[in-house]
């Protein structure tokens, strides 16, 4: 049985690249290597063609770099921490992970730290007469290259840090990750397994002793276990589900008795649980985060209906993507196309479009019911989705439009506003 599947490696790498320490560590090791790279220029034919440079010129340049890079790196860390706090307070704490994972900010911090380490290592080597004439010239060229990279990175980073942590930038990041998650789930609506129709005979439940959210399910490992033991597996959870020891992860059919301890451990290893939800395999979580940002904007303390209206438009864009049937290998509900089945011994329940609408629109309908502009835009958005190619999307849009109208009718006082909302639902 394979220890780890390619899909799980993909998930682990995605989680690893979000860590703030990874890129600085890699760049730091690379900087030390580059500092000693100049030594290899000595003893080659190129050494005869290289001009001589003085020890003092290279040393002074490296000293300026070492003193300035530490200050800039400290400034970068302080600015990034401020952006994280801003994202948490103005948007939602659930979006901070995306702000931390910002590639440009991580690259900038890594560049500044790498340049500092390069200058310190190279300066120490020079003072101990590690380089000869060819090595000194090569080191000077490398130092100029590093300076150029630092300047370009700093210019780009200043432009990004001015936006990092702002509500608009955070919303853009959440929408981007939601688009990726929805596109990936559209390609495998039941994770590559067999769609669960509810007709399978109930089997022996599989429990886990851990408590947390399902972040990833290793379908390849489950399929391998099912083939080795000649069993069938029906998942009872999906990524994003909160699991407790009394909630089954799956039901096992084909065994005379319950799975033994060893079998249970091997099956449980296929379910990666964590303290919080993640975006990669859980498209509903991105919808939840967008709805939380809208709810905060619509609260009396913030009173920013424009942000709520903006997010409604982004929700429509995401659900239009989800509801497309062209080139769609399968669907969550109501689609006659058949998804590619890679794991034929695993039955998987589809993600519910109704639950997705509940995640996306119920908080906005509740918190924006007293605002006529938000209520009208919400009705127009749901009316647009009611014309979707996907039957489940159309049905959910009609249902939640009626619910949103009822909330608005109870919250609004001015009769003319109520009429406008009603008209928006019908037009």
Residue with tokens 């959870």: 237
Q: Which of 278, 377, 388 lies closest to 333 in space, CA to CA? A: 388
- Virtual torsion, Cα 173, 393, 183, 310, nearest 10 deg: -20
Average confidence (pLDDT) over 57-69: 87
What pLDDT does 335 receive?
42
Q: Which residues contact 144 (CB under 8 A, 6 or more apart)?
A: none
Looking at per-residue pLDDT, the higher value among 15 and 107 belongs to: 107
What pLDDT does 339 receive?
61
Q: Which domains occur in the chain, in start order?
A: 16-165 (no CATH), 177-186+280-339+350-426 (no CATH), 191-274 (3.90.1170.30)
Q: Answer yes or no: are the C-beta atoms of 131 and 74 closer than 8 Å.
A: no
Per-residue pLDDT at 131 exceeds 90: no
Looking at per-residue pLDDT, the higher value among 197 and 168 belongs to: 168
- Model confidence at 110, in pLDDT bands (50, 70, 90)? confident
Cα–Cα distances in angstroms (integers) from residue 327 to residues 158, 323, 337, 352, in the given order: 41, 11, 10, 20
Per-residue pLDDT at 42 exceeds 80: no
How confident is the model over 259-306, as pLDDT tens digits? 778 888 889 999 999 999 999 889 999 999 999 999 999 999 999 999
What pLDDT does 76 receive?
83
How confident is the model over 339-349, as pLDDT tens digits? 678 899 999 99
What pLDDT does 332 receive?
42
What pLDDT does 334 receive?
41
What pLDDT does 257 receive?
67
Cα–Cα distances in angstroms (integers) from residue 55 to residues 31, 47, 124, 131, 336, in the given order: 21, 16, 12, 10, 75
Per-residue pLDDT at 169 exceeds 60: yes
> Whole-prediction pTM value?
0.81
Average confidence (pLDDT) over 35-55: 71
How confident is the model over 20-29, as pLDDT tens digits? 777 888 888 8
Angle value at C-alpha 126, between 122 and 130, nearest 5 degrees: 100
Per-residue pLDDT at 199 exceeds 80: no
Q: Answer yes or no: are the C-beta atoms of 153 and 108 closer than 8 Å.
A: yes
How confident is the model over 314-332, as pLDDT tens digits? 999 999 999 886 544 444 4
Q: Please tell me which of 163-167, 194-198, 228-232 the model is most confident about, judged by mean pLDDT.
A: 228-232
Percentage of the chain modeled with pLDDT above 70: 92
Looking at per-residue pLDDT, the higher value among 386 and 258 belongs to: 386
- Model confidence at 3, in pLDDT bands (50, 70, 90)? low
Burial 109-146 (b: 16+ CB within 10 A, else e): bbbbbbbbbbbbbbbebbeeebbeebbbbbbbebbeeb
Average confidence (pLDDT) over 357-370: 96
> What is the widest separation between alpha-carbon atoms in the chain?
90
Backbone angles phi, psi at 105, to 5 degrees: -70, -40
- Model confidence at 389, in pLDDT bands (50, 70, 90)? confident
Looking at per-residue pLDDT, the higher value among 8 and 272 belongs to: 272
What pLDDT does 2 receive?
47
Give the C-alpha separation, 417 to 175, whole Å: 31
What pLDDT does 361 receive?
97
């Amino acid at each position: 049985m394979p220890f780890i599947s390619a899909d799980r490696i993909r998930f682990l790498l995605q989680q690893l690249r979000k860590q703030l320490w990874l890129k600085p560590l890699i760049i730091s090791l690379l900087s030390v290597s580059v500092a000693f790279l100049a030594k290899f220029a000595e003893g080659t034919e190129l050494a005869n063609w290289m001009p001589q440079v003085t020890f003092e010129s290279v040393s002074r340049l490296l000293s300026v770099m070492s003193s300035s890079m530490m200050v800039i790196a400290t400034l970068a860390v302080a600015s990034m921490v401020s952006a994280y706090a801003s994202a948490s307070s103005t948007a939602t704490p659930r979006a901070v992970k995306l702000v931390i994972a910002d590639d440009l900010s991580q690259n900038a911090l890594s560049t500044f730290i790498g340049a500092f380490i390069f200058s310190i290592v190279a300066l120490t080597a020079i003072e101990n007469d590690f380089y000869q004439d060819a090595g000194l010239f090569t080191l000077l060229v490398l130092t100029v290259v590093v300076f150029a990279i630092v300047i370009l990175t700093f210019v780009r980073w200043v432009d990004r840090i001015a936006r990092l942590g702002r509500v608009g930038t955070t919303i853009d990041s959440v929408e981007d990750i939601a688009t990726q998650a929805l596109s990936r789930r559209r390609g495998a609506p039941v994770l590559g397994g067999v769609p669960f129709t509810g007709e399978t005979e109930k089997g022996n439940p599989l429990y886990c002793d851990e408590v947390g959210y399902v972040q990833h399910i290793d379908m390849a490992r489950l399929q391998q276990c099912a083939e080795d033991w000649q069993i069938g597996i029906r998942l009872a959870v999906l990524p994003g589900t909160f699991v407790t020891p009394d909630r089954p992860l799956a039901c096992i059919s084909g065994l005379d008795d319950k799975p033994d301890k060893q079998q249970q451990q091997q099956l449980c290893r296929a379910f990666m649980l964590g303290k919080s939800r993640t975006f990669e395999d859980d498209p509903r979580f991105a919808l939840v985060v967008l709805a939380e940002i809208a709810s905060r904007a619509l609260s009396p303390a913030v009173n920013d209906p424009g942000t709520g209206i903006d997010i409604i438009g982004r929700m429509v864009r995401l659900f239009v993507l989800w509801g497309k049937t062209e080139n769609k290998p399968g669907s969550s509900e109501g689609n006659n196309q058949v998804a590619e089945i890679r794991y034929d011994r695993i039955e998987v329940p589809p993600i519910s479009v109704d639950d997705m609408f509940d995640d996306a629109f119920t908080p906005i309908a509740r918190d924006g019911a007293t605002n006529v502009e938000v209520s009208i835009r919400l009705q127009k958005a749901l009316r647009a989705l009611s014309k979707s190619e996907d039957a489940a999307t159309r049905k959910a849009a009609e249902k939640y439009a009626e619910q949103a109208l009822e909330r608005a009718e109870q919250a609004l006082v001015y009769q003319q506003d109520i009429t406008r909302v009603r008209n928006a639902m019908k037009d």
